[in-house]
Amino acid sequence: MSYMAIALLVVVTIIFGKIATKLGFSEVVGQLLSGIILGSSVLNVVQSTSLIHLLSEIGIFILMLNSGMASDVKEMRKYIKASTLIAIMGVVVPAVSFPIVFMLMGYPLKVAIFAGVVFSATSISITLAVLAEQKKLATPMGAIILSAAVLDDVIALIAVTLFSVLIGGGGTLGLGSLLPLVAFAAGILLRKLSFSDQLARGLSGLGNWLFYPIFFGAIGLGVAIQNLNDKILPVMLFSMLAIMTKFFGSLFGARLSGLNKTVAQAIGAGMISRGEMALVITQIGITSHLIGDAVSAEFIVVIMVSTIIAPIVMKPLFHRVN
């Protein structure tokens, strides 16, 4: 029965992802929705099992390995000043704002700090797709955004690893906490190998058609919509906070680095989406017992909202940059 459930999860998740793309949304959004629909929130036909959890861990590993292999360290060095300032401000503003707002709303300190870590991350894939669509991937703006996003994610991964060791999970470091950081570092090292392009293509195919759908679908399985009945207003507030803190934090960093207002606004928009990286960190929080089901459901909905809104904001602002 477990294998049938996994097959159903993979097929439905892939279909929903493709439908979301056709409708102009991120594929990740469709994949998350499929898990929510198949899980206890709606149909309750697929339950999370130890095998699904294991396959999700493999999905995280491949996703982060490919992210590391896609990170061009030499290209990043060209714009190190701008990308570093953007990354730092893009992390600091949400990392400070979210804990303050969460604590004011009565959340425990541990959850509040973890929210700051989750929403410090940036999705590379969503921004990459919009940059490629507008043929701005090879421009200085494109290189700066991607470099800053990579730095954001490295900072967020280190932060969540340290957080889970020092504060969460009883002071123990589980595989789920260390895996993304190790995989990302391994990907950067593997990029130097002569066959890295072929390896990346092979892993991408394996990930796209099996492990990524299981990972994102499994996160959706863990969302209990019924737990959000009295959380609509907080989720709306957190969604606005997620968008505004990353946009203005990154914009401020871009302006500090000397970039003009038009480019700075475009870069701010390019850093909004949380996507897969914030989901990876949320999953670490779940497996490390840093957050419970109710809080994780709130995080996932906010991540989905930012992932949907980001391309809508990005496209016109990217178009204004020559």
Q: How much is the pLDDT for 76?
A: 72
Q: How far is CA 2 from the centre of its chain?
A: 28
Looking at per-residue pLDDT, the higher value among 9 and 232 belongs to 9
More confident residue, 136 or 235: 235
| Secondary structure class of 65 (helix, strand, coil) | helix
Name the residue with higher pLDDT: 88 or 164.
88
Predicted local confidence at residue 9, as pLDDT: 95
Residue 263 confidence (pLDDT) above 60: yes
- Which residues, at least 6 apart from 230, have a Cβ–Cβ distance to it below 8 Å? none
* 106, pLDDT greater than 60: yes
Contact by Cβ (8 Å): 119, 99: no
| pLDDT at residue number 171 | 42
Q: Give CA 317 to chain center in angstroms.
A: 21
Mean pLDDT of the 4-22 span: 93
Q: Which of the four pLDDT bands, split at 50, 70 and 90, describes residue 173?
A: very low
284 has a pLDDT exceeding 70: yes
For 260, the token pair is 């003009």
Summary mean pLDDT of the chain: 85
Find the range with the poorest average confidence among 62-66, 136-140, 207-211: 136-140
Stretch 290-307: mean pLDDT: 87
Percent residues over pLDDT 90 in the chain:
36
Do 104 and 242 form a contact (C-beta atoms < 8 A)? no
Number of alpha helices (DSSP H) and beta strands (DSSP E) in the chain? 15, 0
What pLDDT shows up at residue 118? Answer: 93
Alpha helix stretches (DSSP H) within 119-223: 124-133, 140-166, 175-190, 196-206, 212-221
pLDDT at position 167: 67
Q: What is the CATH number of the domain that holds 208?
A: 1.20.1530.20
Q: Which domain holds residue 309?
A: 2-319
Domain count, the chain: 1
Q: Residue 157 carries which side chain, given as an amino acid letter? A: L
